[in-house]
Amino acid sequence: MTLDLSADPIALTAALVDIPSESLDEKVIADLVEQALREQTRGFEVVRHGNVVLARTNLGRPERVILAGHLDTVPIADNVPSRFERDAAGEQVLYGCGTVDMKSGDAVFLHLAATIADPVHDLTLIFYDGEEIAAVHNGLGHIERDLPQWLEGDLAILGEPSGGWIEAGCQGTLRARIGTAGVRAHSARSWKGDNAIHQLAPILARLADYRAREVDIDGCGYREGLSAVRIAGGVAGNVIPDAAELDVNFRFAPDRSVEQAIAHVREVFDGLEVDFEITDSAPGALPGLTAPAAKGLIDSVNSHGGGGIRAKYGWTDVSRFAARGIPAVNFGPGDPNLAHKRDEHCPTAQITAVTAMLRTYLTGA
């Protein structure tokens, strides 16, 4: 099998979807992407690092744009091979695992690399593995560690599904585990014990009363959220529990650092006698839309009547670039609300539209 990068990116998306590439099983698709880039593009230096495929031009352009997309998908759910259907309005839709997250974005990047002969920016393409699982497997993180020079640029565009909108930056995230301690006793003599589950009540009350902050950054509105996401406790049906715990997730605007976010969450629960442990955290990414390279992308999207600009509420790998001082945005076909679903699908018109908007940007047309 070979990939035809010059084919319509809709057909290329279908071809990529038909290559199973669940996380940790990306070798076949990485082999095909590498082969296609070596054989069907001109002026690109191509490098393979594990199951990450990298390619870049060195034309001496004043700016470098990074196009990055992950090759892996969540587990297939009887949704491969791909299939075309018509929606209620008669528009063509492509169904299949990865049509949204994010083989349509990969197809757009690959097609443009093969069909743009004279880009106005130097280009770096990164197709990486392990994005959908634990961070230790993330291929972009491996490049950050082993080949950091490949992450240098003036703007990074991740092909994350955004419905053709520029979704700028991303929110940060942290999880905290809050534990309570009591005294175990028989439930028939409950007054002899101290119920650790009951001690969670004031914690839950503060979460219920919490009012999320909203902040505008570069014209993008971010809304924070502090939520209970897991609760555990109990020994048996006739035992007063002596331990309970609650996991809390804080999604914070990118004007906060991780340290500031942790301090805020601690402040919310100040005065309560609880154990407090941070179990996971990742910084957000500022939009960076005032950078010259970003302005060109905005102009191109506007010239095609694209979706416009909005904040990215979820966490994505744009954070890795922002931490290096590189403006980064999410921009690709597909509704992010359909990612990972059994009926994952993407309107083919969005694939065509995103391809046209990026072609205008990369060629200066």
* Catalytically active residues, by annotation: 72, 131
- The secondary structure element, H or E, covering residue 144 is helix 139-146
Q: Is the dihedral of CA 242, 247, 250, 256 positive or negative?
A: positive
* DSSP notation for 245-271: EEEEEEEE-TTS-HHHHHHHHHHHTTT
* DSSP notation for 285-310: B---TTSHHHHHHHHHHHHTT---EE
Q: Other CB atoms closer than 10 Å to residue 242's CB: what's the count?
A: 18
Rounded Cα distance between 231 and 180, Å, is: 11
**Strand ranges (E), 96-224:** 122-128, 155-158, 166-168, 172-181, 185-186, 214-217, 220-223
- The secondary structure element, H or E, covering residue 94 is strand 92-95
Provide the CA 222 distance to its chain's centre, in angstroms: 16
User: Pseudo-torsion of CA 3, 6, 10, 16, nearest 10°?
Assistant: 20
Cα distance from N-terminal residue to C-terminal residue, the chain: 34
